[in-house]
């Protein structure tokens, strides 16, 4: 049984079994604080990446220093758009605070985490 992570990993550049003709998945690296006042920029970046219809969207949170509950609206919007297009979202490098915030709001049910998170 393959999980969404395994399917996403195989589509990733440099991943196993990428196969000929597969498009590269999109990686959006967010940084700093993601709160209500700063979420617009992150939302625009995620929307632009999803507009290209990648096979997988990876959101790298390694440089996110704070993720507030109101800042997570960008993730809800991205999940809604991705679901419509059948695009899985993989979260990578989430610090404990960001991961706890995503978990508290139930986003763990619709987001997938890479093994390095």
Using DSSP, how many helices (H) and how many strands (E) does the chain show? 4, 4
Q: Domains (ranges, CATH) in the chain?
A: 4-113 (3.30.750.24)
CB 57 within 8 A of CB 25: yes
**7: exposed, middle or buried (Cβ count in 10 Å: 0-12, 13-18, 19+):** middle
The pLDDT confidence band at residue 23, using thresholds 50, 70 and 90, is: low
Query: What is the residue-averaged pLDDT of the chain?
Result: 84
Ramachandran category for residue 93: left, alpha or beta (phi over 0 → left; psi -120 to 50 → alpha): left
pLDDT above 50 (res 15): no
| 24-28, 42-46, 113-117: least confident range | 113-117
pLDDT above 70 (res 36): yes
Instruction: Count CB neighbours of 11 within 10 A.
Output: 19
């Amino acid at each position: 049984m393959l999980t969404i992570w395994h399917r996403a990993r195989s589509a990733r550049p440099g991943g196993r079994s990428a196969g000929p003709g597969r498009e590269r998945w999109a990686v959006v690296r967010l940084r700093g604080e993601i709160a209500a006042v700063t979420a617009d920029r992150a939302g625009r970046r995620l929307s632009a990446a999803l507009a290209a219809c990648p096979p997988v969207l990876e959101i790298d949170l390694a440089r996110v220093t704070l993720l507030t509950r109101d800042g997570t609206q960008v993730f809800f919007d991205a999940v809604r758009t991705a679901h419509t297009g059948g695009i899985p979202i993989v979260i990578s490098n989430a610090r404990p605070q960001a991961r706890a915030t995503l978990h508290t709001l139930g986003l763990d049910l619709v987001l997938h985490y890479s093994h390095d998170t």
